[in-house]
Amino acid sequence: MGKQLSKTITLIIDKYGNYLLQRYNQIFSHLQNEEYSLQQMKTHIDEYAQYLYTRKMLELKRMSTTIREQNLSYSKQIYDLRVSQNTVPQELLSKEKLTYFQAAMLESAIRYKEIDQKKNDYSIDKDLLDYPVMTVRGPYSDKLDTLKQHDGSIRTKRKGFKSTYYINKNGVFLSPFDGRTLIGLGKMWELKGRERQFEFTFNELSKVVHANNQGGDYNLLAESIVNIAATSIVLDEFKDDNDDYEKAVTHIHSPISEAVVDREQRQVKILFSERMHSNLLSGKVVNLSMTLFNDLGTETSKILYLTLIQKAKDGHFLIETKQLFEQLGLNGSTSYKNLQTLKSAIEELCAYDVVYDYSFLKKGRVTTHLNFSLSDWVLAHNNIASHNPTYLEEPVLF
């Protein structure tokens, strides 16, 4: 994935870097002043940098480092030739300027994304995070086959913070990709007037979720919408939290009541469920950054990002690791592997300044809890009061 993404970035900066070089040469031929000519290029650099916005931050930074090193190498060669009073080849001058503009595009995109990562202007229905609706890894194909009913649907009990029966008529488990689609649908609902029923094009949704405007991506979004519309969860409310036999109310929660997906016209009509529409209107949501969600490198990081904010909104900064594994759908062969996957995800959230601090707690040799705190900007965007985590015992760090 990394090499493929770098190749894509290379194609973009090669194409638009040459455009910038041509434009610079035109301006320089008129002004005959390098400093003034470069000042005139800023708007054009920012304009072409937009084509990099959908690329992951990590890849942009890696590419920026590589291109900067190339640019410095060319600059040094030019300097050495001039000091020795030798003629500088035009090809070398062009390479120096080309890499300068390529690096400038990358740095413009990075600056934009750093700002956009902290704009929590997207949201997702909190019900979909209270219950284990999305999963990092669905069951392997042989286990999946055993879960399917005669009609191809899945009806299975899922454990997590709140257990539920998960139903999907298409026989699939929702993934973080479907989570991104759900977040995008929430944004489309907001942009289209906050009515329960709304319409949009694939192009509009693609822009909202920061995807590429290509047919292949449109097909993936269409399939995701269809799978979300085929999903329901059973929400039980009990008379007494300690009495599993006294059910007061049972809700069948389907986020989308109806979806009409016209692949030929590339248009979609959505009817949200009454419960989801009510949650969105009342603010029963988790606020997040779509840019940051997309930049996170693993599926575990993506769901954990939403999950930790959801728990913090409920005032919980101490989570049982077993429940967290179940909530995320981590099904590694051992608890140790699950723990290492979780730790890697938390470290990534720390790197992006989502998690401020964390520790694992143990009883004997068994890891039992995750204790965490979120950064102030995450707390502020979700109206969560600052807190001082209380440790059950001396934290054990891995």
> Is residue 109 in some structural domain?
yes
pTM over 0.75: yes
> Is residue 220 in some structural domain?
yes
Residue 396 clears pLDDT 50, i.e. is over it? no
223-282 pLDDT, tens digit per residue, is 999 999 999 998 866 555 554 555 556 778 899 999 999 999 999 999 999 999 999 999
Q: What is the pLDDT of residue 332?
A: 74
Same domain, 112 and 126: no
Residue 149's contacts (CB-CB under 8 Å, 6 or more residues apart) are 155
Q: End of a domain among 260, 289, 318?
A: 289
Nearest residue to 110 via CA among 9, 205, 4: 9
* Whole-number average pLDDT of the chain: 90
Same domain, 22 and 108: yes
> Is residue 173 in some structural domain?
yes
Between CA 162 and CA 103, with CA 289 as vertex, the angle to 5 degrees is 140
> Is residue 386 in some structural domain?
yes
Same domain, 127 and 276: yes
Q: What is the pLDDT of residue 150?
A: 85
> Is residue 52 in some structural domain?
yes
Residue 127 clears pLDDT 80, i.e. is over it? yes
Same domain, 151 and 248: yes
Same domain, 272 and 154: yes
Same domain, 156 and 259: yes
> Is residue 329 in some structural domain?
yes
27-38 pLDDT, tens digit per residue, is 999 988 989 999
> Is residue 1 in some structural domain?
no
Same domain, 176 and 275: yes
How many domains is the chain built from? 3
Same domain, 231 and 172: yes
In this structure, are residues 305 and 176 in contact, taking their beta carbons and an 8 Å threshold?
A: no
Same domain, 92 and 135: no
Domain containing 313 equals 296-397
